[in-house]
Structure 1
Amino acid sequence: MRCQPKLYGLVYNWLKITQPCLLCDEPSDTPLALCSGCETELPWLGEHCLICALPLSSLGTQAALTCGECLQRPPAFDRVEAPWRYAFPLDALITRFKHQAKWPLGRLLGELLAEHLRNAFDEGLPRPDYLLPVPLARQRLRQRGFNQAAMLARWLGQGLDLPRNEDCLQRIQDTPAQQQLNAAARHRNLRQAFALSPGTVVQGLHLALIDDVLTTGATAAALAGLLKSAGAARVDIYCLARTPKPGER
């Protein structure tokens, strides 16, 4: 007499189940919860500034260009790595992850960012010593319940086998939200907003700041300047998306 029922067929069927695409709800034909068709239709960054990753629409066949802003006023950070432009449907996915706590969408985007970074490392991008998520002010963290940059840093750390430090940076001023401010106001808004935690040592380190979207670069520049003034050798920015200039598609 057999103690266990014959479940071979059920186990076989379970192993064959494919996860649905989080965008179109059709069965995914990739290891991720995103089908190849939807992945192709994401707003990939394309030609961009090699420092700040600003999308550039008139590069032609020239391969290596730096935008005028970075030429005139080089930023404190060394390089921005982002797979996409901040455009539909990616903007909706980030908004749902960030403001509606749709964590599976964030995890999917984090896995795709990790794949992008693996390719960049293979092509010569130096691997950082630590991943540092952009910190949230305490009040905003309580309101939202989580820091989306910290979650991205955890997923990237796991996928890329890189250490992270979530306690290195502090946001000591709860400044107004950046979304409604222009570039000049964003920079004024962030003066003295950040600090290093007591006892933090970054001398000679290559650090990567993690955030969801880079818009004007004010937050990234403020944090990179803080880290560089404390002795960091290099500061890169890893984010999901880069916004184009106002008025550009």
Structure 2
Amino acid sequence: MALLRPLPLQRPAWLRLRRHCQLCDETTDHPRHDICTACEAELPWLGAHCQVCALPLPAPGMICGACQKKPPAFARVEAPWRYAFPVDSLITRFKHQAQWPFGRLLGELLAEHLLHAYDEGLPRPQALLAVPLARRRERQRGFNQARMLAGWLSRALQIPVPDDWLSRTLDTPAQQGLDAATRKRNLRQAFVVNAAERVEGLHLALVDDVLTTGATANMLARLLLQAGAARVDVYCLARTPPPGG
């Protein structure tokens, strides 16, 4: 008499782990992230933008007037989104309310964007550098959102994040809401490169949450190039639209 093999136990559907979209709270079948395909499609993807600073433009493949008139120190900005709803709200909740899961979700999606860009020919940097915060501001906030983003990118991209190559020596006023000229004045002598001998000849990428005027990124890129870096790119979550755009 043939023995019947017991059927494998099947977990009831209600016991299986269900993942929910962080934006709409509906169940998601996304293979990697806690966001549903509908919400992901509705994010404010950058679209046509300046090939240098990623400023949103009306047509692809162009370089904005500001970059043509005075090219920045950084070579290229990579950002998946415009700074618009709901990405702006998610960044605010991550940055100012310590809701880290939103930052991690956006960071993981940024990593996917960068991996695709590498496949399309974007040169891969040798190290990621988080834009530093002043010590007082970091103590008040409890963390540096750029450093957290850099850490998530590092794990996904397999690129190291040296933690002590850049520091902020002056606690300048917050840049948010200031015009470009005031931002530049704030940043004079605000940063220092601590590892000039280690950056020499390297391709580096600065990591931050949002690029607005680009003054901070430009200042840091200039300092790194002066210290001997071969190239500096900028990786961020979102790019602000032009004034009135």
**Superposition TM-score tier, normalisation by shorter sequence:** over 0.9
| Matched residue, 1:108 | 105
1:65 is aligned to 2:62: yes
Report how many aligned residue pairs link the two structures.
237
Distance in 1, Cα, partners of 2:165 & 2:12: 46
What does residue 5 of structure 2 align with? none
**What's the RMSD between the two structures over aligned residues?**
1.5
Residue identity in the other structure for 1:177: A
How much does 1:215 deviate? 0.1
C-alpha distance after superposition, 1:182-210 (max 9, x if no partner): 01100111000000125652111000000
Q: Which residue of 2 aligns with 1:34?
A: 35
- Residue type of the alignment partner of 1:29: D
Q: Which runs of 5+ in 1 are unaligned?
A: 1-6
CA deviations 1:150-191 (Å, max 9, x no partner) are 000000000011111121100000000000210110011100
1:204: which partner in 2? 201
Amino acid at match of 2:194: S
Aligned equivalents of 1:123, 1:242: Cα separation in 2: 21
The residue number in structure 2 matching 1:50 is 51
Aligned mate of 2:216, from 206, 214, 219 = 219
Q: Distance between the aligned counterparts of 1:51 and 1:198, measured in 2?
A: 26
Confirm or deny: 8 A CA contact 2:94 2:102 kept in the other structure. Answer: yes
Distance 1:86 1:126 in 2: 25
In structure 1, what residue type is equivalent to 2:38? G
Determine helix, strand or coil for the equivalent of 1:201. helix
Contact kept? 2:196, 2:228, Cα under 8 Å: no
Q: Which of 235, 240, 245 pairs up with 2:237?
A: 240
Q: Structure 2: how far apart are the matches of 1:112 and 1:247?
A: 28
C-alpha distance in structure 1 between counterparts of 2:195 and 2:236, whole Å: 26
Q: What SS does the corresponding residue of 1:240 show, helix, strand or coil?
A: strand
Name the CA distance, whole Å, in 1 between partners of 2:116 and 2:198. 30
Cα distance between partner residues in 2 of 1:214 and 1:226: 18
CA shift for structure 1 position 28: 1.0
Q: Which runs of 4+ in 1 moved over 4 A?
A: 7-14
Contact 2:127 2:160 in 1 (8 A): yes
Q: Partner of 2:25 in structure 1?
A: 25
Cα distance between partner residues in 1 of 2:174 and 2:71: 25
Match of residue 137 from structure 1: 134
Task: Using the TM superposition, give the Cα deviation of residue 246 of structure 1 relative to its aligned residue in structure 2, in angstroms.
Answer: 1.4
Q: Secondary structure at the match of 2:146?
A: helix
Match of 2:4 in 1: none
**Cα distance, 1:124–1:199 mapped onto 2, change above 3 Å:** closer
- Deviations along 1:108-157, one digit per CA (max 9) or x if unpaired, are 00000000000000000011000000000000000000000000000000
Residues 73-112 of structure 1 mapped to structure 2, 5 A cutoff:
73-112=70-109
The CA distance in 2 between the partners of 1:173 and 1:200, in whole Å, is: 23
Structure 2's unaligned 5+ residue stretches are 1-7
Percent identity over paired residues: 65
Q: What code does the residue aligned with 2:176 have?
A: Q
> Residues 119 and 36 of structure 1: is their aligned pair in 2 closer, same or farther, counting only changes over 3 Å?
same
Report the counterpart of residue 3 of structure 1 in structure 2. Answer: none
Q: Is the 8 A contact 2:127 2:204 kept in 1?
A: yes
Structure 1 residue 8: deviation in Å? 4.2
Instruction: Give the partner amino acid of 2:221.
Output: A
